[in-house]
Structures are given as C-alpha cells and as structure tokens.
Chains A and B, each alone.
Chain A
C-alpha cells in the first residue's frame, strides 16, 4: 500500500546515534539511524523525549537538518543552552551507539520541497539555520536550480553552523547565493555584513516583491518578528512569509 494512504498515530520510536559532529563550540549534530523512518519533508521537526530514572520526562522540539533523501538517517543539530534540561545531556552524555526517543516527523506548514519552486528566500538567525539547511540539502540532492538566497545572521564566524558545507553549496553555481552577517565580531578583511539584519539588508538581499519569492524565516522570536514585519513592509505578501520562532525553549 502506498505510504500516503496510511494514516498513523504519531508514536514514539527509538533512534540510535551513529555519528556526532562538532559544528561549532556550542552546536553539535547528532546523526541518528531511525529504523522504519517514514520519510520527512525539509523543514519538519521531531519531538525528543528524555526520561530520568525516577520517571520524570522532558520534551523538546528539534528541527530536522538532514535531507529527505538521506533515508533512515536523521540529523538534528543541538545548540547547547547552559542551564537547559535537555541540550546539555544531548551535548555531553549521549554517545555514539546510544539510543534516543523521538517522534515525528511533525509539521506541514514550515516546509519546502523543490516542486514548490521559487524564488526561495531563506533567513536564519543562529541555530535557526537547521530547518533551512534541510531545504538546501534537499535542493542540492535533487539538483534543483530554483533561485535561492540565504541570509544568515551569526554572532561571529566561529558561530556559523555548517560553514564549510554552505561555502561548498554556494560554490556549485546552481542558483544558490549565501549572505552572512556577523553581529558581534568580524575577522580581519571580512567582506560580508556586520550588523543585525535590518531593512536595508533585506532590501538588498531579498528578491524583489514582484518576483513573489517564498520567504522562510527561522530563529529567535525577536529576529523572526523583525524580519517578517520588515519583509511585509517592503511589499512581500504576508502569506508568502512563513516563520518558525524558537521562543523560550528551556533548552
């Protein structure tokens, strides 16, 4: 039977950590093998559940960073929040070979696939890059040439998650352009932006409203609200601006 015809309850399942990747000093990717993973769309998330020996449970949502084309391999990128309940465990304790309880994929709103076309404007703040990375990886896996621009705000160059891969993707000359802005410190000779995302920056980087780009914005709530509001002020249709706010996740 075709998968699409089957309606299922969302159930908790176990994934096994096959690889840990240090992305930055504060962000790690966990690559999980999830048997019978039903497949996902770029932009979807999973809920992760930790259970303490006394039965106490904590749940957090993490965006899937890997492409749907990666099969049963599901990558999550976890940014460490020092006083958090979940992220320090995922960061320090969870080793290769360990199991992790998760459910998903979840969400049908903040998603993009190549058949949705473009132009595509992606705007990320910090670890808000994760679901957008799934879209870029999906785009590359499908050898799509949909005109795409990524505007990515980080504190410093060392805080840029997936930096080398983004450089490599932008070097394919397949219609993807990557713009970085570094808000706190910049290396000598830095030629990118050096301030918070603002109206002038969006006017330069975003496609013209007449091109009707699909805009996907992900990051901390204040950044997402400022960017979404400004895009609409610049003339982009509100229904073409999709947002994913991180909010106070509790880490």
Chain B
C-alpha cells in the first residue's frame, strides 16, 4: 500500500501532530506536539511551558508526572535547561545529568531532576527571532544522545509548537471575532519571507506593542481579512497598510 510520503520534515511533523489531535478529537494544540514528540523520539516524556521576560512563566502541558515535575521545578527554582534555553535562545541538550559540571551549573535542579526520574534533558526554545513564547522540554530516564535526524525532528516539533502557541493568543484576544479559525501550520517558508519579520518589527512601533504581540496582530489581521500572511506583510512593509492601536487598519492607498 503506497502511502503519501510528505517530502519535507515540517510536513511530516505536522502530520504526526495532527494525528494526535485527531485521536483526542480536538484542534491541534501544544499538548499534541508533546504527545507526538514522545512517540517519535527516544524520550520518556515531554512538557511545555509558556515563558515571558515580563510576566510570570507557567507550565502549559506535560505528558506524564516526571515531565510535570521538571516543568514545575525549573520555573520554581529559576534554573535548568528550560530557563537557559529561553535566556540564550538556543537549544540546551543534556545527554546525562550525572556529570559534575552540570551538577555545579544547576546546583539544585540537577539533583532534583534526577530524583524525579530524569537522566537526560533536552530544552528547545519556541523561537521566531526575538519572539520566544515558550520552551519545549523532553526527558529520558537513561543517558541519551539525540542524533542529527532526531535533533532536526525535535527542532521541527518546537517550530510547530511556536505557531500553535501563538495561535492560541489570537483566539484569546478574540481578534478572529468567532470567524474562521487560523489555518494550521506554516506557510511555505521554503521561500523565506523577510517581509513577515520586517512587518512585525514595523508593527511594534505602529501599535506600541512588543514583538510577539505585533506578530500575533499581523497574523490575526491576515485571518480576519482572509489574506495570505505574506501579502499582508508586504503591504505593511510597502506602507500600503498601517495598523493603528485602537481603530481598524487604514489602507493608505485608499486615503489618497
């Protein structure tokens, strides 16, 4: 039986996450990313925390008790791979917590995590430039090294979780007005669109908000108007479209 083989890693990861969501009978969310990551990678559990520089960080989901403990521990202690991944903006891969330098680096967390039953811990920032809304944590109960393929998969799970997490913010802000839900997944980034990121930067000034909020507003606008994100971004960059903090969007080409 021939099965369609998705040709890119991100497509394949999206399918895995969608399958988990279907099993739950719900829209895909970060909880499905955790479940799919555990099924696909040599890890015992996964957890995901929302992170912020300005507000309190908090755990969002976990696949088992150990994962839940690891999330709580790091946010309580303010140390651990998850915290480092957030601060540094890069993946923190710890194949074995029982190494002396790590015990020194995370004086309290290392022992507590071992106590909880974790031996290897991998923290992957959910990241889009300066936007880091959270961190995906994976653990294994034996010393574990992720090979290049597994690491690439883990990074792809984190990428998908980034968008899913930001999507929930769109729904929370009610910007979609109960209309069509955001489409899933990435637009084809094979041709990476610098305009999307430039437009997010522009909107931080126009709206007087942080970069994460700016990106969420950009996406929300695209959804509400039924436009492609790349097209809306191009309009913002070309000054054909301005968003204002209170009122709706102004199309500058209609004003003149």
A and B found bound together: no
Question: Which residues of B line the A interface, CB within 8 A?
Answer: none
